[in-house]
Amino acid sequence: MEHVPAPSPGASSRRRVRAVDLPAADAAAVANGIEALYDDQFDVIVIRGAFPAGDLDAAGARLDRDDEDAGWSRPNEKMPVEDLQVLGTDIPATPTYQNPRGASLESYLASAVRHEAATAGVFADGFDATVQIQTVLARCSGGRPVRVPEAADGRRYVPFTVRRLTDGKQIGLHHDFHYKLPLYAELAPRLDTTTLVSYVATLRAPEAGGELFVYGVTPDTPDAPKLPNGFSWDLDAIEQRYDVARFVMGAGDLFLLASGRCLHRVGKIAGPRARVTMGGFLAMDKARREVLFWS
Ligand SMILES: O=C(O)CCC(=O)C(=O)O
């Protein structure tokens, strides 16, 4: 992790991005890390080598090809620079350019039942990504059980999605405080909505770009700069005025980010090798007795 100094006067008095970046062997230091993210003690936790790098890298290499379509959906196709490819559901649990208010819960759950088929063949036989994610997240859950939620009718939420960003593509500045979307009508009332946490593991790192940038800008930051259109963030002004932390991730590395709180983005990919990740969101239930993850 590297802090990029904010050049403007007074910037140092503003909110700093607080991160912990450690090898998996030291993960005991963040054994209650998810609660620490919730309680604003950290914004980002990076665990290097959280997953077996060889298994993830092999899956990333298999997926990074254009001559065969693994079944990617492209919910941001309308905005070419943000044309993220997604495997695991064709109905993401986020706003997209295709669907700026997000999808309905019914269409999401109907798609979720196809998750297993959609991700079959991504990993080698014997590598159960959902179980692996559950096990890794449990190392930061403060002893709380970790599981994928189910809807009232028993249908399971999507545990993770695989994402591919190719040359010239990026994820622009955003927060992920999604609880007010219609898709969350059933889940949000069960959760502690203080924040939402993103979890992202890298399968394949690009030659350049694809870093995670996190900013000391929250939904409560007064007058965070926007472009004249009134809704897009002014990236240059934000980088001038606020603290920024940059994280370069490798195969097997995991980050947890308080994405409901901190403005963040993924840098533009440069070069023939794509950035391939798997991830989603997690939250504690209202009583803080368990951790739920979905995508
Ligand atoms: O793909 C990533 O690294 C970040 C994804 C993201 O922006 C998010 O989880 O909110």
Quote the percentage of the chain above a pLDDT of 90. 85
In this structure, whether the domain defined by 2-294 belongs to CATH 3.40.190.10 is answered with no
What would the mean pLDDT of 219-230 be, rounded to a whole number? 90
* Res. 216: pLDDT tops 50: yes
Looking only at the bridges linking them, the beta strands covering 44-48 and 19-23 are parallel
Q: Is the CB of 259 under 6 A from ligand 1?
A: yes
Residue 293 phi, psi dihedral angles, 5° rounding: -130, 145
Average pLDDT over the chain, rounded to whole? 94
Domain limits of the chain?
A: 2-294
Is 262:171 a contact under the CB 8 Å cutoff? no
Q: Is the CB of 277 under 6 A from ligand 1?
A: yes
* Res. 264: pLDDT tops 60: yes
Ligand 1 nearest atom to the CA of residue 275, by list position: 1
Name the band, by pLDDT with cuts 50, 70 and 90, for residue 5: low
CA distance readout (Å), 200 to 4, 9, 74, 160, 286: 22, 34, 19, 9, 23
Distance CA 168, CA 268 (A): 6
Residue 142 phi, psi dihedral angles, 5° rounding: 65, 30
3-state secondary structure of 135: helix
Give 6 Cα–ligand 1 centroid separation in angstroms: 23
Count of CA atoms in the C-beta half-sphere (13 A) of 270: 4
Give 9 Cα–ligand 1 centroid separation in angstroms: 30
Q: Kind and range of the H or E element at 21?
A: strand 19-23
For residue 142, give the amino acid letter: G
What would the mean pLDDT of 179-184 be, rounded to a whole number? 94
pLDDT of residue 9: 47
Give 83 Cα–ligand 1 centroid separation in angstroms: 14
pLDDT of residue 13: 46
Distance CA 216, CA 256 (A): 16
